């Protein structure tokens, strides 16, 4: 499934200035760059001589970065600790132009951090600092209050669920009920443990491993792909399911319609970090700009093809998306 260059450009031109909420697990992605020229005498592991360090917003914050890169206005809501990681994340978000009013502080947990050591454009190891306990009721109430205050402006809501405790069972149901009542397009980047609870959403974007695990059937060919896709669609009563398939592209399922298969457009794949964030952000931005679900799939597939060609957590921009269509 493709869209014409002319129609694709029209959709991209229309993207911009729509407010889209992003709710979920905030992270700080830390990168330590270096070179390897020997193996440690202490253990069979490479010794990385560090040459640089950088940090970037990750998780739900990366989704918001993609929304902003496309020209829309993200309302980012998530939970951080009262620590240095939160201060860095706050500064990075403000520097990018993303409002930090949705940062909710919890003194009982650290800010989720993922530290990646990269040598010669290859990830050597990753170290995580996190707490996965459910956030308290007070912060769930604050999340809903922020949404209620902006409901008239919202053109979409993205749930970025990494299983770190922000998307609790009760908050998820409140978010879905809110969007159904306000007729707001709601999309979910899922975590497998919460899969049965994503009912009646507008869109859910699992990769083929997550989809197969959630349905209980491994996807090995197009027949099993269809069984899983239509089975999840019926089980969740969802409007649509977009299964991302890596080098095989994407598959869009809608009730009562034939599956729409879209081949990948990626020429080279250096790093898939954050690719799922780009997919869901560009899809919802395209829908907010007037695209059909089929057209939004083509747009998000194009966007994913751009970011996987870069090393590290990357975001799509409107200019890069235009160039890829050209």
For residue 266, give every residue at least 6 positions away whose Cβ sits within 8 Å of its Cβ, in sequence order, or none.
Answer: 247, 304, 305, 308, 309
Residue 100 structure tokens: 């930090």
Give the CA distances from residue 99 to residues 95, 117, 224, 261, in Å, rounded to whole numbers and listed in that order.
9, 29, 43, 37
Residue tagged active-site, from 29, 106, 271, 277: 277
Chain centroid, CA 89 distance in Å: 17
3-state secondary structure 270-314: CCCCCHHHHHHHHHHHHHHCCCCHHHHHHHHHHHHHHHCCCCCCC
Is 277 an active-site residue?
A: yes
Tell me which residue of 129, 138, 60 sits closest to 98, measured CA to CA.
Answer: 60
Tell me which residue of 220, 251, 97 sits closest to 232, measured CA to CA.
Answer: 251
State the distance between the two ends of the chain, measured CA to CA, in whole angstroms.
18
How many CB atoms are closer than 10 A to CB 272? 15
Residue 61 structure tokens: 């914050």
Facing residues of 28 across strands? Answer: 57, 113
Catalytic sites, residue numbers: 277
């Amino acid at each position: 499934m493709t869209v014409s260059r002319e129609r694709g450009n029209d959709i991209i031109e229309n993207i911009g200035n729509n407010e889209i909420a992003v709710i979920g697990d905030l992270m700080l992605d830390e990168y330590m760059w270096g070179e390897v020229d020997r193996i440690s005498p202490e253990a069979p592991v490479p010794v990385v001589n560090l040459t640089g360090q950088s940090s970037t917003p990750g998780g739900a914050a990366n989704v918001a970065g993609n929304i902003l890169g496309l020209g829309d206005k993200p309302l980012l809501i998530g939970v951080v600790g009262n620590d240095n990681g939160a201060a860095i994340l706050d500064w990075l978000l403000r520097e990018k132009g993303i409002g930090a009013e949705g940062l909710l502080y919890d003194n009982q947990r650290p800010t989720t951090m993922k530290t990646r050591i990269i040598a010669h454009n290859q990830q050597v190891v990753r170290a995580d600092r996190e707490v996965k306990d459910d956030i308290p009721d007070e912060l769930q109430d604050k999340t809903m209050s922020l949404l209620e205050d902006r409901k008239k402006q919202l053109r979409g809501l993205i749930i970025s669920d990494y299983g770190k405790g922000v998307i609790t069972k009760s908050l998820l149901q409140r978010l879905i009920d809110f969007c159904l009542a306000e007729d707001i397009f709601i999309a979910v980047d899922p975590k497998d443990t919460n899969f049965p609870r994503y009912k009646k959403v507008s869109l859910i974007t699992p990769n083929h491993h997550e989809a197969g695990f959630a349905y209980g059937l491994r996807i090995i060919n197009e027949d099993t792909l269809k069984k899983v896709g239509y089975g999840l669609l019926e089980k969740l009563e969802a409007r649509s399911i977009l299964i991302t398939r890596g080098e095989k592209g994407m598959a869009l399922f809608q009730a009562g319609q034939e599956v729409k298969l879209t081949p990948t457009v990626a020429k080279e794949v250096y790093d898939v970090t954050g690719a799922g964030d780009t997919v869901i952000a560009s899809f919802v931005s395209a829908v907010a700009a007037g695209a059909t679900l089929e057209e939004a799939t083509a747009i998000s597939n194009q966007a994913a093809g751009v970011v996987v060609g870069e090393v590290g957590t990357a975001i799509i921009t409107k200019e890069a998306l235009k160039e890829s269509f050209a």
